[in-house]
Structure 1
Amino acid sequence: MAGGGWARAPGCPLRMLLLAAALGAGAGHGRCGYYELCPATQPSMLNVHLLPHTHDDVGWLKTVDQYYYGVRDGIQHAGVQYILDSVVSALLANESRRFIYVEIAFFSYWWKQQTAQRQQEVRQLVCQGRLQFANGGWVMNDEATTYYAASIDQMTLGLNFLKDTFGDCGRPRVAWHIDPFGHSREQASLFAQMGFDGYFFGRLDYQDKKRRKIQKEMEQVWRASASLQPPQADLFTGVLPNGYNPPPDLCWDTLCFDFPLVDDPESPEYNAKALVNYFLNISVLQAQNYRTNHIVMTMGSDFHYENANIWFKNMDKLIQMVNAQQSKGSQINVLYSTPACYLWELNKANLTWSVKQDDFFPYADGPHQFWTGYFTSRPALKRYERLSHKFLQVCNQLEVLAGPAALAGPYGQGGSARLRQAMAVAQHHDAVTGTSKQHVANDYARQLAAGWERCQVLVSNALASLGGSKEDFVFCNLLNISVCPLTQTASQFQAVLYNPLAWSITWTVRLPVSDWAYHVRSPSGQTVPSEVIDVSAERSKNFHPELIFPASAPPLGFSIYSVTRLPSKTPRFRDCCAVPVAQSSHTLVIQNEHLRVTFNPNTGLLQEIENLDQGLRLPVSQTFYWYNASTGDFTHPQASGAYIFRPDKTKPFLLSHWVKTRLVKKALVQEVHQNFSAWCSQVVRLYPGQRHVELEWTVGPVPVGDGWGKEIISRFDSQLKTNGRFYTDSNGREILERRRDYRPTWDLNQTEPVAGNYYPVSSRLYITDGQVQLTVLTDRSQGGSSLSDGSLELMVHRRLLLDDNRGVGEALLEPGDEPGVGLVVRGRHLVLLDTVEAAAARHRLQAQREALAPQLVLAPAGKGTPYSPGSPALTQFSGLRRELPPAVHLLTLARWGPSTVLLRLEHIFERGEDRMFNLSQPVTLDLQDLFSAFTISHLEETTLSADQPLSKATRLQWRTSPGGGPAPPQPAPALDPSAITLQPMEIRTFLASVTWSKERER
């Protein structure tokens, strides 16, 4: 991803630009005459817009490379390179034809393999508006399981490839999410802030769609933020009539079985008249569900157009023969079109549209077919994706802070590009969702791992440059299972804690070590309190003691701690401090200065949480249950699978009535280890100063030898009176209220009382009685709900025996380290108990700390060499001269060009959300001397996706009810780097011209 000028795209014919400028003169919208180049329509007729398109999954049944090259046809016949070859040739053969393409991950790879002549031909098609890009992200990302920052990154990658390749002529005007399985409000808000004029999708709940068709609400304006001032997050949104497939009997592809249009009356196969009459009839029927004299038909599907001639030849005939009926009185006009050209006609109709303010979750395509299982499917991949997002931000930041030195060496030259692309691919709606075949999921992980390797080189270069000492840096990627060869064998080592947040942080470092005592020194050389604890009850061959010590790091910076192993005679711990706890009448308690956590003396289960600061005590129990996955029953054959969640009973099975416990009470940590079964355990933990309870759970391998697929949940039960309401985040940002067995905009006939009440939880889920709030933060996307008042549950793992018949063709039966045994997953839930007034600030800030937790890098002590002779090594560094206010998050800091930086700042609170600490107020920042590693010489504000200057960005305006007329566009505020103001929930994006300090240029 690189910055690009705003001049015309290379090779774009000058005559086309002059024509576009002439057509667009006075229109006030879009260079290239984007909308004005749309085909003519008939104002007095019903205009049927045929949308030739292909939907090319960036991995699903086959890997990305297998799809692109067209190999492994035994799995699925699909070859994207041939699709693009064929489509371009077909467009060049007939000037009336049009086509849209979406997945830039595929297109960019194809583009690089083309000759200069073919590239010039494609540029001309783009400038003519006959090849248009829709959406324009690297992939068509999922909307339930994605984190908002990763979605922004992947859209930025794709859209800026188009800008750099085609200039403004290639910029999509329409978002196009035809296949994701439900749609989030935050995604629509992001699209609006990226400058899209409209949004079309294919999937929504079958009950909702039926109601919309009757009421002619298949198209409306989505008000996608409760905080941003309209129309900043308003987005015209349309539901496509046939998902994204052609009407029945009108599919003309090598993958279809419909009859081609035979127009020779002498042929015994002649069917043209019947097909034309059929087309006229279905057009009239479809128009009854829409409000204007324009409708669309999606002419394409999964991996269609490998032989584009078949599709186009039949559509050519259809258009000619249908329009010929106009001489006989027909009032139907059919034409090749694009989603943007269809949207343009809707906008010109100048109607008043209804407004939607909730979202489109959960999605069901039948009474017992709720697509809520994928909220949790493949939990290990979901966690790896979230960790990779964090590491990409670390990589991006250090690439900027260290300047050119970060890219030293043959492996540093690629910078963060490989991980950026791998992360973008991982956002695909069959990647992070967990809905691909197993070998494809493995390939997604492989791509991420390859990106990590390149970024680890960059991070090592950057730390050496910033710290002034070249070290043999080590990245221990198996700390989640307490494995790190360096710390377990070395007598001395360094722990580098890098903080990607713009606020100072404190963090407890945990490292697997040998069975010795250790001495830890801070960056200033002071002794840091430390302890070694046992993480398992018995000393087996897998025994891993862990060293723990408190650490801190400045904003956007690092601290280096030195660790030395002490002689073996030094006591490691007192035997009294880690003991098994038998069930007795003695209450089991862990406590710090803020929280007191009590466990039932008879069962060993969590019993009560007390917030000592706020004087709150809440009886709350927590344990694990499992739903038996349906294999189909007398009401419906639907089984639970990678997509679908369908338990065979509404009441789950309790995993264990009591647990074996072990108490660890040390000065630096207090833990209760709970053993629920042979395949489920948990550690409930409190560190000093911590204002939340940490629950680290380990689940798996889930046993299925009894023939029962299992869906494991962690459930919290309290006495809060919640009136059927609970709350979830939308992609990690704004909060939405949920109500059991209820949808805000239509009357729900609830047919699955468990699965039909599950919602995606990207970062947090909470309940409240209006006075007290119980919040659970997650470390990855999970499905969650509140199925009874005072209760919260989160699904943590799934292991199933049947496919759910949604195309993936295999059961969700993930292997672990040993074939056939099953996957073990470890994760964390953070539990917060607060008054409602204090809760917003607590969970907002803690969620950001979790999403961008410190990155730990290690190095053997005494192995380093000076980076620059004569320059002393640093043990602490900050990229900021002052930390940002608590309401402001540094969302993006990434290298954009040789002397340009991409900078995003966001206000993380909603309007009126925080009433206790006043964090929902606008915040003004001075950026001029904020960064220590570089100086900003010029600042240009852009749209969210950084592909157009904000000063030149315009969007179509829509009339909404109530109010009648369209809201006036908000002018871009005057840009003063010393006074950048952020409103609640606002993200501001800048391209900054910078000069690195001399130290960074070395």
Structure 2
Amino acid sequence: MIWYILIIKLICTTVITALDAVSKNLLTPIVEYGEACGYESCPQTKPDYLNVHIVASTHGELGGSRTFLEHFTGDGSQMFTTSDINMKNILDSVITSLWTDRARTKLNATFLECARPLVTWQADTFGHSREFASLMAQMGFDGHFISPISFDDELARMTSRSLEFVWRGSDDLGAETDIFTHKLFDGYWSPPGFCFGIGCTDPMIVVDAEFNNVAERIQAFKKQILEHQSPFYTTNNVMVVMGQKMGYHDAKIWFTNIDTLIRSINEAKRKDDEVNLNLMYSTPACYLKEIKKALPVLKTKQDDFLPIANDKNAYFTGMFYSRPAIKYLARELHLYLLIAKQLQMFGHLKNHDQLFEDIQWIAGSLLDHTVHTGGMQEHVNSYYTMKAHKGKELCMQIIRQAFNQLRGAPNKTPYYMCPFNVSSCWTISHNRSYIIIYNPLAWPVTLPVRLPVQRVKYNLYDNKGDTIDHSIIKIPEFAKRIPERFLPSHSPALYDEMVFIAEKIPPMGYRSYYLQIEGSRTKRAIIKKMTKNKKRKFLTRQSHSVKASDDNLITQYDDDYYLDDLTHKPTIIEFANVSKGEEDSLKEYGYVLTPRSKSNETYKATEAPKREGGIEAHHLDNISTDSITPHQLNLSSSCTGAPTPDHTELPTINSTDKLADTTTTTSASITPLLTSTIKTVTDYYGDEGSFNITNDEENNGEVTWEQELMFRGAMDSNPEFVSKHPTLAVVKSKIVEEVQFQFSSYAGLALRLYKELPYVEIDWCVGPIPVDDAFGREVFVRYSTDLQNNGVFYTDSNGRQTIKRIKNKRYTHQLVYTDDISANIYPITSKVYIEDTDKNIRFSIFPDRGEGCTSLDEGEIDIMVHRRLAIDNNGPTDGINDTAVETGLVVRGKHRLYLSKADYKPNKFFEKKFAKELEIQPQIFTSAHPFYDSSIGYTNWSECRNEYSALNKKLPIGLHVLSFEKWNEKLLIRFENYLESTDVVKNGVKIVNILNLFKDYLIISCEETMLGTNIWRSGYFKMEWQKGKFVKKFNDVYGNDSNLEFADDVGRQYEKVNLAVGIKLVPQQIRTFVCSYRLVRETS
């Protein structure tokens, strides 16, 4: 019952804080009457015995083959008949069995401090991340009980007797993230031969005089403990889990057999040379207490348990990217929940506690290990997809109220979410509308906005009434084919998008923009067919670097407050003469690849090659058709320090009056944060192959890939091309330049470069994936460069710290011969990058959801994006076969590519900040359709408050307001220093003054809690262990022992909050406060 007890306790701890003094007194244990809780309530052990802690355990599921409702009630399962094996019946059976039998230990009603869980239980996940261990330690847990881990890791730990160890969750935070970790010996299952639940075939323990088998069962249990388990632990205590998944349906059978086992072994006569066993009912926390008393010297760990394998051919890596749609929905719902919590306070709304509880149950369910990983049948996936949309709509109930309060709009003014992922939005498809962009982050954010519109001329106004530059461009061909676009709920299906740059959306606030059709035809973006033409344009390099002072960026970076738009500082770029000795400047500065119009050419560029990779080059002519079918297209630049390459030709764009201000001129305002240029290749793969964008003749198309696994790899090392003849469209406008590729009926992508933004956006779209071969296929994108990363790449750990990966290597054990592909696939949440230390270049990719990635060959990053498999290898029982609109599911997502100097600190800071901006990105809300709201006019809109920020002042750079929400009658505020020590020039310590930080809220006092908000920081004392040494920086030492340096482990002393001085945060630290406040204005 541990799983249920843990959940129930967490709930009790947070809701009973509002009890009156009399109730609290009644619920507090009285020591004089033998009442106790926590470690004081644990059973007594015997010092000269091997103490066997029996932990009765079962757990239910939220995903897999049944939905939560089916798991809990049994309805709808077992071929649409009711099943008696369900969580409700299990709870009833367990409680009844323990409550009515006076001979057995009775249930305790635990509340308040007694209800606080002391350890965590992570016994059924597909891996265990380092950041999760860090978060558990920061919540105040004393121990972390996990299963499974990789078979080869477990064998190595058994040999070294290190199934129990101290895990350091963060190098930057050090000892405060250390947590005792125990690998469950048999997972959440009973030892072999002692399962007494439904579906088990093990014999019951019979005490009947005629059919007695007690002696035989006792010996079998002793052998299991003494020979197969206790030799691998270092103390005279072992923990034995007795249970199974969905076990204890008939709890009386379980407890009767366990009672018999305990009594029979404890009362049996022992031989002189036999080890004495002492069996007892216990809990993981009580077991932890006894381990602590034994004072073992524990081994240490600083990496993670990813990926994990059942055997050398069965890696749980497919779930890193299975069902990518549910992964995106989970992230999106948590973002909406964050926005709703903020706006609840900023809008001074009435109590919505029950509404938030409903939303949080849905959001939490989406993070279940079988739901978020996609390990569920299709009908279960559909159930949670529906719940995710319901959760978003519940959030909108709060968001709508808050917008009307803040904007001063009529109370019933509606706002909507649009399905922008299918390039559709019915509410802005008419002649007038407005949008609101809300930024939940604590600093201004600049982002590109794409709105589905008609192909007519629009006026776009900001909150001040000024017109905003924008372009109308055609949506990619792959977007036009998304089946959901043609549903009645998404009509009309629009084929154009308005693109503009929303600059500096206010922190923890919003800005509104107004759209109005002018009536005449808009100035178009340019799309030309690629074919031979003597007129052509070349790609040349920029000759000027960043105008901001490098000294200022480095020496003042940690102490200054937010530097206004540091990473977006513009500069005027002139185009260099590639043929006149400018190559040397490329070695000193970084540049962005920029097109130059042939008509404005001042120097003759190096002649483009006639053939690339054995394929003729094609040039653009003046034909006005919209698409092309080239055999190969090549766009690239060369590495810093290398000779200037030949430049591939692009179409010449002839300017006319109608198209004049959408063409590229000889100067442009761009963001110069890309500090290096590099030859980059983008490949699109399925088990049908790839398409290259490169001018490297040696590497052109020479790629092999094995079909990525489900759980056991039935690999195909000879993939076919998705398409050898993709359709391509070049789109140019004054806001964005992009190349749109259609590889096949189920795969396409667009490569975009926005004005004044320092990254490249990849908009990919995959599906419906064919399954006509009865197997299906995996689809991934390969990004190839000429960097030498020596098999090393870096991923995030749960979106926060960075962890080093090395191909075919593990830090704590030797890999058993295994699959070179599946053993090297790791999950990413926010970022993956590779570095070439010789060239001092880093290449980073930022996803928009959890995905799987690897770097199998030098200079390459593979990111798995979608899969549809008609077969299953030890997975969720029916393959991965998502469907929608009566066909295979189409999934659309984005990657952002960023190139920088590897050792340049401001670039590292930008990456951390940018990752936050993508994870917690500003959201776009739209007005109602004018047909349903006739008041949508410019005059009415302009009379509202169309820009707002909840902050009175800027935060130090690197700080994020993680939480700002109602907490009974107080405020719950969390601050996060999201930087790592490797990102900063000095010590990275940030100080924030909270007193007048938020508008309307004057902070009076704050008391700090642990991360989980259920323990006062002043009353927490960490459990200390005797342990081995930790290295100072894991990423520096892993794969390079010459960098070995041990941490000094000097712990930080707790400092009571002094609001006058400010709140201090070191890199990676999160601090949580419950604050009293006074409103400084009247609520509306």
Q: How does 1:763-842 map to 2 (within 5 A)?
A: 763-770=830-837, 771-806=840-875, 808-818=876-886, 821-838=887-904, 839-842=907-910
Indicate whether 1:477 and 2:418 are aligned: yes
Q: CA RMSD in A?
A: 3.0
SS at match of 1:88: helix
Amino acid at match of 1:757: N
| Aligned-partner Cα distance in 1 for 2:103–2:1024 | 29
Indicate whether 1:546 and 2:614 are aligned: no
| Aligned-partner Cα distance in 2 for 1:86–1:219 | 33
Which residue in 2 is equivalent to 1:92?
Answer: 99
Which residue in 1 is equivalent to 2:527?
Answer: 578
Out of 949, 955, 963, the position equivalent to 1:878 is 949
Q: Is the 8 A contact 2:471 2:524 kept in 1?
A: no
C-alpha deviation, 1:954, in angstroms: 2.2
Q: Is the 8 A contact 2:592 2:677 kept in 1?
A: no
Identify which range, 284-293 or 255-264, moves more after superposition. Answer: 255-264
C-alpha deviation, 1:709, in angstroms: 2.1
Q: Compared with structure 1, are the counterparts of its residues 7 and 486 closer, same or farther at alpha carbon in structure 2 (3 Å cutoff)?
A: closer
Q: Deviations over 1:40-80 (max 9, x none)?
A: 11111111111101111123211111111122341676311
Q: How does 1:683-698 map to 2 (within 5 A)?
A: 683-698=750-765
| Aligned-partner Cα distance in 1 for 2:435–2:745 | 34
Out of 954, 966, 975, the position equivalent to 2:1021 is 954
Q: Is the 8 A contact 1:6 1:167 kept in 2?
A: no
Indicate whether 1:392 and 2:337 are aligned: yes
Q: Is the 8 A contact 1:376 1:782 kept in 2?
A: yes
Which residue in 1 is equivalent to 2:507?
Answer: 555
| Aligned-partner Cα distance in 2 for 1:21–1:988 | 39
Q: Deviations over 1:768-822 (max 9, x none)?
A: 012100000000011100001111000001111211124x21111111222xx31
| Aligned-partner Cα distance in 1 for 2:1075–2:716 | 57
Out of 31, 53, 57, the position equivalent to 1:19 is 31
Which residue in 2 is equivalent to 1:202?
Answer: 147
Higher radius of gyration, 1 or 2: 2
Out of 11, 33, 38, the position equivalent to 1:34 is 38
C-alpha deviation, 1:204, in angstroms: 0.4
Which residue in 1 is equivalent to 2:916?
Answer: 848
Q: How does 1:496-575 map to 2 (within 5 A)?
A: 496-536=436-476, 542-552=493-503, 553-567=505-519, 570-574=520-524
SS at match of 2:740: strand
| Aligned-partner Cα distance in 1 for 2:57–2:78 | 24
Amino acid at match of 2:377: K
Which residue in 1 is equivalent to 2:1065?
Answer: 982
Which residue in 2 is equivalent to 1:273?
Answer: 215
Q: Is the 8 A contact 1:727 1:738 kept in 2?
A: yes
Q: Is the 8 A contact 2:688 2:721 kept in 1?
A: no
Amino acid at match of 1:486: T
Q: Compared with structure 1, are the counterparts of its residues 278 and 738 closer, same or farther at alpha carbon in structure 2 (3 Å cutoff)?
A: same
C-alpha deviation, 1:20, in angstroms: 8.2
Indicate whether 1:748 and 2:839 are aligned: no
Out of 673, 680, 687, the position equivalent to 1:620 is 680
SS at match of 2:97: helix
| Aligned-partner Cα distance in 2 for 1:688–1:461 | 35
Q: Deviations over 1:520-574 (max 9, x none)?
A: 111111111122111146999955111122223211001111111111xx23124
Q: Is the 8 A contact 1:469 1:864 kept in 2?
A: no
TM-score, normalization by structure 2: 0.79
C-alpha deviation, 1:227, in angstroms: 0.7
Q: Compared with structure 1, are the counterparts of its residues 482 and 73 closer, same or farther at alpha carbon in structure 2 (3 Å cutoff)?
A: closer
Which residue in 2 is equivalent to 1:656?
Answer: 723
Identify which range, 320-329 or 364-373, moves more after superposition. Answer: 320-329
Q: Deviations over 1:246-290 (max 9, x none)?
A: 0111011234222110112322xx211100011111110110011
Q: Deviations over 1:609-630 (max 9, x none)?
A: 889556522111001112489x
| Aligned-partner Cα distance in 2 for 1:996–1:865 | 33
Q: Is the 8 A contact 1:900 1:994 kept in 2?
A: yes
C-alpha deviation, 1:646, in angstroms: 2.1
Which residue in 1 is equivalent to 2:383?
Answer: 443
Out of 74, 88, 93, the position equivalent to 1:81 is 88
C-alpha deviation, 1:992, in angstroms: 1.7
Q: Is the 8 A contact 1:647 1:755 kept in 2?
A: no
C-alpha deviation, 1:353, in angstroms: 0.8
Identify which range, 620-629 or 444-453, moves more after superposition. Answer: 620-629
C-alpha deviation, 1:751, in angstroms: 1.6
Q: Is the 8 A contact 1:354 1:960 kept in 2?
A: yes
Out of 1058, 1070, 1074, the position equivalent to 1:991 is 1074
| Aligned-partner Cα distance in 2 for 1:479–1:424 | 25
Indicate whether 1:221 and 2:166 are aligned: yes
| Aligned-partner Cα distance in 2 for 1:932–1:950 | 27
Q: Deviations over 1:936-957 (max 9, x none)?
A: 2221111111111111122321
TM-score, normalization by structure 1: 0.85
Q: Is the 8 A contact 1:627 1:653 kept in 2?
A: yes
Q: Compared with structure 1, are the counterparts of its residues 643 and 892 closer, same or farther at alpha carbon in structure 2 (3 Å cutoff)?
A: farther
Q: Compared with structure 1, are the counterparts of its residues 496 and 383 closer, same or farther at alpha carbon in structure 2 (3 Å cutoff)?
A: same
Q: Deviations over 1:677-713 (max 9, x none)?
A: 1211111111111111000001111112133421111
| Aligned-partner Cα distance in 2 for 1:614–1:663 | 23
SS at match of 1:278: helix
| Aligned-partner Cα distance in 1 for 2:822–2:747 | 23
SS at match of 2:285: helix
For structure 2, list consecutive stretches of 5 or more residues without a partner in the other structure: 1-10, 487-492, 543-572, 574-590, 596-607, 619-631, 640-670, 690-705, 1031-1045
Amino acid at match of 1:65: L
Q: Is the 8 A contact 1:640 1:803 kept in 2?
A: no
SS at match of 2:17: coil
Q: Is the 8 A contact 2:780 2:864 kept in 1?
A: yes
Q: Compared with structure 1, are the counterparts of its residues 303 and 678 closer, same or farther at alpha carbon in structure 2 (3 Å cutoff)?
A: same
Indicate whether 1:902 and 2:972 are aligned: yes
Amino acid at match of 2:1081: K
Q: Is the 8 A contact 1:61 1:440 kept in 2?
A: yes
Out of 592, 595, 618, the position equivalent to 2:592 is 595
| Aligned-partner Cα distance in 1 for 2:22–2:64 | 34
Which residue in 2 is equivalent to 1:291?
Answer: 234
SS at match of 2:686: strand
| Aligned-partner Cα distance in 1 for 2:885–2:48 | 66
Q: Compared with structure 1, are the counterparts of its residues 218 and 584 closer, same or farther at alpha carbon in structure 2 (3 Å cutoff)?
A: farther
Q: Compared with structure 1, are the counterparts of its residues 207 and 651 closer, same or farther at alpha carbon in structure 2 (3 Å cutoff)?
A: farther
Q: Compared with structure 1, are the counterparts of its residues 382 and 495 closer, same or farther at alpha carbon in structure 2 (3 Å cutoff)?
A: same
| Aligned-partner Cα distance in 1 for 2:1059–2:33 | 33
Amino acid at match of 1:912: T
Which residue in 2 is equivalent to 1:137?
Answer: none
Q: Is the 8 A contact 1:97 1:336 kept in 2?
A: no
C-alpha deviation, 1:824, in angstroms: 0.7
Q: How does 1:155-194 map to 2 (within 5 A)?
A: 166-194=111-139
Q: Is the 8 A contact 1:605 1:622 kept in 2?
A: no
| Aligned-partner Cα distance in 2 for 1:843–1:733 | 12
Q: Compared with structure 1, are the counterparts of its residues 11 and 313 closer, same or farther at alpha carbon in structure 2 (3 Å cutoff)?
A: farther
Q: Compared with structure 1, are the counterparts of its residues 468 and 308 closer, same or farther at alpha carbon in structure 2 (3 Å cutoff)?
A: same
Indicate whether 1:607 and 2:551 are aligned: no
C-alpha deviation, 1:825, in angstroms: 0.6
Which residue in 1 is equivalent to 2:567?
Answer: none
Amino acid at match of 1:992: C
C-alpha deviation, 1:714, in angstroms: 0.3
Q: Is the 8 A contact 2:637 2:680 kept in 1?
A: yes
| Aligned-partner Cα distance in 2 for 1:533–1:201 | 52
Q: Compared with structure 1, are the counterparts of its residues 612 and 698 closer, same or farther at alpha carbon in structure 2 (3 Å cutoff)?
A: same
